Amino acid sequence: MMIDLKKIVRKNILELKPYSSARDEFSENSSMSSELLFLDANENPFGELNRYPDPYQLELKQCLAEIKQIPTDQIFIGNGSDEVIDLLFRVFCEPGKDKALTFSPTYGMYNVSSAINDVQLLEVPLNEKFNIDLSITTSYINDNNLKLLFICTPNNPTGNCLNRDAIIEILESFNGIVAIDEAYIDFSSETSWIEILDQFSNLVVIQTFSKARGLAAARIGVCFGSTEIIRLLNKVKPPYNISELNQRAAIASLKSTDKFEREVKILLKERDRLTLELAAIDFVSEVYPSQANFLLVEVDDADLRYQQLVQSGVIPRNRNTVVRNCLRITVGSPNQNDELIGLCNTLSIENNKVAE
Ligand code: PMP
């Protein structure tokens, strides 16, 4: 779908004159930078973190551009992908008028972010295989006020990748922004949607350093999209949204390819082991296949099992209200997973004793 961005961007954002920071008005020529005397940003001359960080995170984007093979002007960095999600609402959805859409069950922040922005969220249920059912989706997509659609793949909390054919169909027919959230893509055997970014002007892909990159504390979210969409996100973001410390941490992570690959490999192996070992536990009725770093596990009584695990110091996520009788369990280190399995075995032995 070739979209006319002017028709879907909020008018106030289109007309917005963004804040011009000191670093916008004078950006240094790197060969001279050590000789320059910066007296333009009311910074303190003393200390090590006294200067504002690069507002556009160029060094980080250059590292990412090389790895992802996407030009820097098609990359936006957010303070976690949660900031990217919020900014997409603020750029594209007129409060009290426009709508957004998700496929449920899915990541809870789409709902919260839409509520904060006073945007009605249409929640289309996934089918029994946790996939998109196009026959019920089509009627929603034709709504003129629908501006933004989120597809989380691999999906949280179900762990599966959503059907590619349905996503392509949506990209081709929807006259609004399709945000594909790939928080868990590094654990998946499927290829990233960034590979076909240039084929769809309405596609943005969101990724994060919080999962496979192990930098949840550094709050680095990434959005890939057309240069026009990236320009709009840059207009709306706070001027220095990524701290210097966090930019450095993200760059260091991108330079540590061996560490990243080694850890992902361990987690994938552990995911396979946990899948088998959890499936053998008495009170577990199903372990859903996962393309992410967590497992959706159906048990006999999720509230009870959650309580028991927590009492023993192991904290899963109780998703009972989202998918009946399901816990979502993050794949931990080999030792942590041993501890989890040991505890589940103990609980099922106790369970059997009570039953006798
Ligand atoms: N998207 C999905 C699907 C998630 O599961 C999460 C975090 N659990 C996020 C986004 C938020 O990630 P970040 O830490 O980058 O804000």
Q: Which of 156, 193, 331 to mutate to test the pocket of ligand 1 (most atoms within 8 A of CB)?
A: 156
Give me the helices (H) in the chain, please.
Answer: 5-8, 11-14, 22-25, 58-68, 81-92, 109-116, 134-141, 164-173, 227-236, 244-255, 257-279, 302-311, 334-355
Determine contact, residues 200/167, Cβ cutoff 8 Å: no
Q: What is the pLDDT of residue 197?
A: 97
Q: Is the pLDDT of residue 31 over 70?
A: no
Q: Enumerate the CATH 3.40.640.10 domain ranges in the chain, comma separated.
A: 5-255
Q: Which of 82, 215, 293, 296 to mutate to test the pocket of ligand 1 (most atoms within 8 A of CB)?
A: 82
CA-proximal residue: ligand 1, atom 1 (nearest): 183
The fold for domain 258-355 equals: Aspartate Aminotransferase, domain 1 (3.90.1150)
Q: What is the pLDDT of residue 25?
A: 86
**What whole-number distance in Å separates Cα of residue 109 and Cα of residue 233?**
18
- Residue with token string 């949840």: 216
Q: Is the pLDDT of residue 311 over 90?
A: yes
The 3-state DSSP class for residue 14 equals helix
Q: Is the pLDDT of residue 32 over 80?
A: no
Q: What is the pLDDT of residue 2?
A: 77
**What whole-number distance in Å separates Cα of residue 280 and Cα of residue 144?**
49
Distance 30 CA to ligand 1 centre (A): 35
Q: Is the pLDDT of residue 227 over 80?
A: yes
Determine contact, residues 67/284, Cβ cutoff 8 Å: no
Q: Is the pLDDT of residue 3 over 90?
A: no
Counting Cα atoms < 13 Å in the Cβ hemisphere of 180 gives 28
Tokens encoding 342: 């040991």
Ligand 1 atom nearest the C-alpha of 83 is 16
Residue range 78-130, pLDDT digits in tens: 999 999 999 999 999 999 999 999 999 999 999 999 999 999 999 999 999 99
Q: Is the pLDDT of residue 313 over 90?
A: yes
| Cα dihedral 336, 341, 343, 349 in deg (nearest 10) | -170
Q: Is the pLDDT of residue 30 over 60?
A: no
Tell me, what DSSP letter sits at residue 198?
G
Distance 81 CA to ligand 1 centre (A): 6
Q: Enumerate the CATH 3.90.1150.10 domain ranges in the chain, comma separated.
A: 258-355
Q: What is the pLDDT of residue 352?
A: 76
DSSP string, 20-64: --HHHH----TTTGGG----SS---SSSSS-SPPPTT-HHHHHHH
Distance 47 CA to ligand 1 centre (A): 33
Distance 298 CA to ligand 1 centre (A): 23
Q: What is the pLDDT of residue 317?
A: 98
Tokens encoding 65: 């551009």
Ligand 1 atom nearest the C-alpha of 107 is 3
Ligand 1 atom nearest the C-alpha of 78 is 15
Q: What is the pLDDT of residue 33?
A: 67
Q: What is the pLDDT of residue 29?
A: 61
Quick one: average pLDDT of 293-319?
A: 97
Distance 28 CA to ligand 1 centre (A): 34
Regarding the beta carbon of 181 and ligand 1, being less than 6 Å apart is answered yes
Regarding the beta carbon of 81 and ligand 1, being less than 6 Å apart is answered yes
Q: Is 325 left (phi over 0), alpha (psi -120 to 50) or beta?
A: left
CATH number attached to the domain at 5-255 = 3.40.640.10
For 113, 122, 231, 288, the CA distances from 292, given in Å and listed in that order, are 23, 25, 31, 11
Distance 317 CA to ligand 1 centre (A): 15
Regarding the beta carbon of 49 and ligand 1, being less than 6 Å apart is answered no
CA-proximal residue: ligand 1, atom 8 (nearest): 107
Q: How confident is the model at residue 34 (pLDDT cuts 50, 70, 90)?
A: confident
Ligand 1 atom nearest the C-alpha of 84 is 16
| Closest among 147, 222, 133, 233 to 185, alpha carbons compared | 222
Tokens encoding 226: 């057309």
Regarding the beta carbon of 156 and ligand 1, being less than 6 Å apart is answered yes
| Integer Rg of the chain from CA | 23
Regarding the beta carbon of 182 and ligand 1, being less than 6 Å apart is answered no
Q: What is the pLDDT of residue 35?
A: 83
